[in-house]
Amino acid sequence: MRLAIINKDRCQPRRCSKECEKYCPRVRTGDETIVFEADGKPVISEELCVGCGICVNKCPFDAIMIIGLPEALKEPTHRYGTNGFALFGLPVPRIGKVTGILGPNGIGKSTSVQILSGALVPNFGQGKGDWDTVLEHYSGTALHDYFKAVVDGKVKVSQKPQYVDLIPKAFKGKTSELLEKTDERGVMDELVEYLDLRGIVNRKISELSGGELQRVAIAACAAKDAQFYFFDEISPYLDIYQRINVARLVQELSKDRAVLVVEHDLAVLDMLTDVIHIAYGEPAGFGVMTLPKSVRVGINQYLKGYLPEENIRIRPEAIKFEVHPPRDDAQFKSAASFNSFSMKYGDGFSLKATGGNLRVGEVLGIVGPNGIGKSTFVKVLAGEIKPDEGDPGIEVKISYKPQYIKADTTVSVQDFLRGISKRFGSSYYEVEISNPLQLERIYDSLLTDLSGGELQRVAIAACLSQEADLYILDEPSAHLDVEQRSMVTRVINRFAENNQKTVMVVDHDIYMIDLLSQRLLVFEGKPSVYGEAHGPFSMESGMNRFLKNLGITFRRDEETKRPRVNNLDSRLDREQKESGNYYYSAKD
């Protein structure tokens, strides 16, 4: 089976010479393989298309994809019209279970949720769908009973949106007003205590940080009286402790309800879900939902990039985790050092940082709970704010990517990056930054039109594009899927090593910190009260110190060496705490 996908937003027939039609070999022999509709945009006949790919390469706006599908994929579950995105398969929500979806962005996860909520009737690729056809199609399966309940109005859906930073645009008022409005189960007081929201309930929604908005959105979703709950990314802006806390809340919610979770933090997904569906395909082209898999097996198959049951490779290379061997300090050349300093906000939060050294060509990870001073620390180093006492004394040029990114200019991505870097457009820039970060397809897009993940990749590229000695990136994993996080990790590591630059990364994704860092800076203290910066430490010492403060232990998967969260008070959890190996067990 062959799919011809046309991105209607990219397609600009009035600005091109209709190269897709002009160079199509079937059109030139007289067939109507490509015709133009009344709006001037082309329609490609998938039956007549021979899959030569000439139109794909000739289209000046990269608006066409010709995709050859495996023979097993014969009928889509839903398709958005002729030459539109096609979804194959659906996740199966189960009462009493947390079902996870693991896959890249733009692969059909939101479409699946719309179908499961009853907002979208699957059409199986044939125009407009109807529920009688759906029930007949799924007769004898678990989805038949589920959709029958949807049709009968017995399924109410509660959904947490992916981009919580858009909530202030949709709701004006106090946090307490939003929470009271959604409290259908009478559990808001419990949720406020559990998610540590007591201090912000009287503040306006517009005044909340990203982490606070995330917890408010989770509380609002969990407070509704529904049969099917969908959480679209619970980890952005939350620290590891908050992520695990929310994971336990979602598990509690699933005891007598069906819960579906999309999550890109694999450590959280591993401990949170009972089964997972892997979503693969071509973003914006087609998506396939596999049958449910056990969590450990599914995540390992996803990391390896090969699904043996489906006999398909979803990625050319595996994502590999390596245990960091000890490295001789003599290998490193000192890049700079920073002095101790302190910062205090009125009668509130205070930060103290001891001095430390930075090395040429290394990536220094920064870990700690939210509200502990990590962002304040990097802003002081970057010269964004001045400390009350002491002077960091860093006399090197710094490039800084902040935690929260806003597009405040209407220029295109290409013009924005060209204005930042003299190397923009060079072969080095294309190979090392632009191509890996997949920026070419959004070069002509305006910054204000980008999604959260697209804007994040542009911000990372902008930070690395500037001429500097020290590069600081605050939460580069936010809104990125697993594939993109792996890609960003490789870009940052290669950039630091090849250019002999120093990079500091603040992040809460343990997988990303593990793949990126040679050393760690650990923040300790009491969130929103005081924070202390310690280190840098070796990876082993730093992670053990960090996780001990949180009372959490990790082990490494025997097959892939990826970090996995131990269940609280399990045998491994108790053994590792007794031995002091919170992150690296003795056999690692």
pLDDT at residue number 85: 94
Mean model confidence pLDDT for the chain? 88
Give the residue extent of every domain in the chain: 2-68, 86-294, 334-542, 551-587
The pTM of this model reads 0.84
Angle at 353 between CA 351 and CA 358, to 5 degrees: 140
Give the residue-averaged pLDDT of 193-203.
Answer: 89
pLDDT at residue number 324: 56
pLDDT classification of 550: cutoffs 50, 70, 90: confident
pLDDT at residue number 163: 80
Give the residue-averaged pLDDT of 180-189.
Answer: 92
pLDDT at residue number 568: 83
122-135, pLDDT tens digit by residue?
999 988 889 999 99
426-453, pLDDT tens digit by residue?
888 888 999 999 898 888 888 888 888 8
pLDDT at residue number 330: 52
Q: Is the pLDDT of residue 353 over 50?
A: yes
| Phi, psi for residue 100 in degrees, rounded to 5 | -105, 155
Q: Is the pLDDT of residue 347 over 80?
A: no
Output the CA–CA distances (angstroms, integers) from residue 7 to 81, 113, 441, 588, in the order listed: 12, 22, 11, 48
Give the residue-averaged pLDDT of 528-536.
Answer: 89
Indicate the fold that domain 86-294 takes in CATH: Rossmann fold (3.40.50)
Judge residue 564's burial from the number of C-beta atoms within 10 Å of its C-beta, 0-12 exposed, 13-18 middle, 19 or more buried. buried
Q: Return the closest-CA partner of residue 67 out of 130, 127, 7, 134.
A: 7
Q: Is the pLDDT of residue 588 over 70?
A: no
In sequence order, what are the residues at sequence separation of 6 or more whose Cβ sits closer than 8 angstroms to the Cβ of residue 562?
Answer: 266, 299, 300, 303, 321, 511, 556
104-124, pLDDT tens digit by residue?
888 898 899 889 988 899 999
In sequence order, what are the residues at sequence separation of 6 or more whose Cβ sits closer than 8 angstroms to the Cβ of residue 329?
Answer: none
Same fold? 2-68, 334-542: no
**Max CA distance (Å), the chain:** 79
- CA 139/CA 106 separation, integer angstroms: 29
pLDDT classification of 295: cutoffs 50, 70, 90: very high
Give the residue-averaged pLDDT of 372-392.
Answer: 85
Q: Return the closest-CA partner of residue 293 out of 315, 308, 312, 313.
A: 308
473-494, pLDDT tens digit by residue?
988 998 888 889 989 999 999 9
CA atoms within 13 A on the CB side of 274: 16
SS3 229: strand
pLDDT at residue number 325: 53
pLDDT at residue number 331: 62
| Domain 2-68 indexed as CATH 3.30.70.20 | yes
pLDDT at residue number 586: 45
pLDDT classification of 585: cutoffs 50, 70, 90: low
- Classify domain 334-542 by CATH number: 3.40.50.300
